Chains A and B, each alone.
Chain A
Amino acid sequence: MVFYITYIIVAIALFGFIALFTLFAVYSERKIAGFVQDRLGPMETGKYGTLQTFADILKLIQKEFITPSAADKILFGVAPVVIFVAVFLGFAVMPWAPGIAPAALHLGLFYAIAIISIDAIGLLMAGWGSNNKFSLLGSMRAVAQIVSYEIPAGIALIAAVMVAQTLDMQEITRNQGIGTEDTLLFLGLWDVSDIGGILAWNVFQAPHLLLAYVIFFIASLAECNRAPFDIPEAESELVGGFHTEYGGLRFAFVFLAEYAMMFLVAMIGVVVFLGGWNTPLPNIGVVKLADWTTGLAWGILWTLSKTLLIVGIQVWIRWTLPRLRADQLMALCWKVLTPLAFLCMALSGIWRVWVIGG
């Protein structure tokens, strides 16, 4: 019985975190957008506009549920839930600190990329159910894009998994720091098992994973429908894309899912490539920085700060780069990222067999 209560509390805590993160991320996104464009962003609600997103969500909660009369009522109503739940379930396997993960699955990474794919079904439901040409076009684009970009993203992750030799996200993280039982080699040359820090992260253990991370990062931008890959919700041509007909709390859920997705893909990247909850500070002789900065609170701090940094980069990219055309999008995926991801996978095999040794 206590077991189930713990599950529910963990789920509620995660939901609360995602909601708070979304409020914070929307605010900071608007501020960063403002600064990049030499504007100030929201300034009126609260000091420096800090209460703006709280006011926004209060407004969205109060609004009426409007279902277009021509819409498919069931699909239209269920879609936001499917979209959000798909992303929310992905958080189940994310490791936050040593020994702290909502669910420690042996197939954690596989589960995460599998459950995120369900998002595409939700988007298609939303677009089809709205019975609106803009929504349908938007969701078609979204599905085409997400399905395509899952391939380079998945293969880039596999390249890292081949080096790490496990799909358990907690295990992948442990093998990138001083907590490991294996020998970790910086660039395949120098034993850093006891030094840890940034030197032991996967991207520095095997340098080709840096390329794999870049591929994963670009593909993950496409998977969360963010600029420069935001053609599914291209405002200038599709009104709002698949969420054109949504309003009120349903729209809030679609929005929540989008920001939760940003955090989730950033976190997957951090866990698989950038050391997860491991500290970036190495042990230097008697100055045991890595030993001192490893622990429960430190783990959560490192996970959060690394992930928020990546989310910050996503926002920065959104306000810099223009949208890609549909054909350029597909060309980038199939002609550049996928071959490079395969190259990374091949290099990982060679690395595992010849450099690390079986």
Chain B
Amino acid sequence: MFKTALQAFITAAKGLAITLAHLFGARRSRKVLDVRKADYFGNQEGITTVQFPKEKMPIPEVARYQLDVEIDDCIVCDLCAKACPVDCITIESVKATGVIGKTSDGSVKRLYAAKFDIDMAKCMYCGLCTVVCPTECITMTDQYDRSMTNLAQLTYAFAEMTPEEVEEKKREWTQFQAEKEAAKTK
């Protein structure tokens, strides 16, 4: 019994020495914050806390955080919305009467993006939408710190059309259809 107790005291003393070393080691912070640096894991002493809004961890340029859509390059194919496991992308399209332009990689655009909403509150950052996108217009950015006071603000709207424009394009399409029907029956 006394042997166990003595052993306990010896190990307790060892533990106390370790914590004391850490207590005095807390005078400095760890300098190497970048995990890509070679000596990152060799650096075991000092405070590890990163005081977040004031100082930030370095992240790679190609970091995969919040989504961004280059709407001019979008052909409104709806593949990203279908690929999304949590259904955070909502797309509404309006058919155009003809070719409305080309994307930067040469794909032909035949649809107007009436609505392109991504709910960042639902997004789980899997990146599947960026994989399926044929024109690579939906990408993940290095933006991760966007706090909102209102939940609705987390739904990012990427479509640039006003409701009036959408109405107009819809009218144009129905008119075009009607004309086509009329031409057929003639």
Contacts and interface: CB of A to CB of B under 8 A. Distances in A.
The answer to whether A and B interact is yes
Interface of A: 32, 34-40, 43, 316-317, 319-321, 331-332, 335-336
Contact of A38 (B2, B16, B47): B47
B60 to A, nearest CB: 25
A40 B49 contact: yes
A4 B48 CA distance: 55
A319 B25 CA distance: 15
A320 B20 CA distance: 9
A38 B46 contact: yes
Given A37-B22, A38-B46, A332-B5, 18 more contacts: A34-B26, A35-B22, A35-B47, A36-B19, A36-B23, A36-B26, A38-B22, A38-B48, A39-B48, A39-B49, A40-B47, A317-B16, A320-B12, A320-B18, A321-B15, A331-B1, A335-B1, A336-B1
A36 B46 CA distance: 10
B51 A320 contact: no
B19 A316 contact: yes
Q: Determine the main DSSP class of A at the interface with B.
A: helix
Contacts of A317: 16
A188 to B, nearest CB: 26
A335 B25 CA distance: 38
Interface of B: 1-2, 5, 12, 15-16, 18-20, 22-23, 25-26, 46-49, 51
Contact of B12 (A32, A321, A335): A321
Contacts of B18: 320
Contacts of A320: 12, 15-16, 18-19
A43 B29 CA distance: 14
A218 to B, nearest CB: 10
A35 B47 CA distance: 7
Contact of B19 (A40, A319, A331, A332): A319
A34 B26 CA distance: 9
A321 B13 CA distance: 10
Nearest to A335: B1
A225 to B, nearest CB: 19
A335 B8 CA distance: 14
24 contacts: A32-B23, A34-B26, A35-B23, A36-B22, A36-B26, A37-B22, A38-B25, A38-B26, A38-B46, A38-B47, A38-B48, A39-B49, A40-B47, A40-B49, A316-B16, A316-B19, A316-B20, A317-B16, A320-B18, A320-B19, A321-B12, A321-B15, A331-B1, A335-B1
Nearest to B15: A320
Contacts of A43: 51
Contacts of A40: 47, 49, 51
A331 B1 CA distance: 9
Nearest to B20: A316
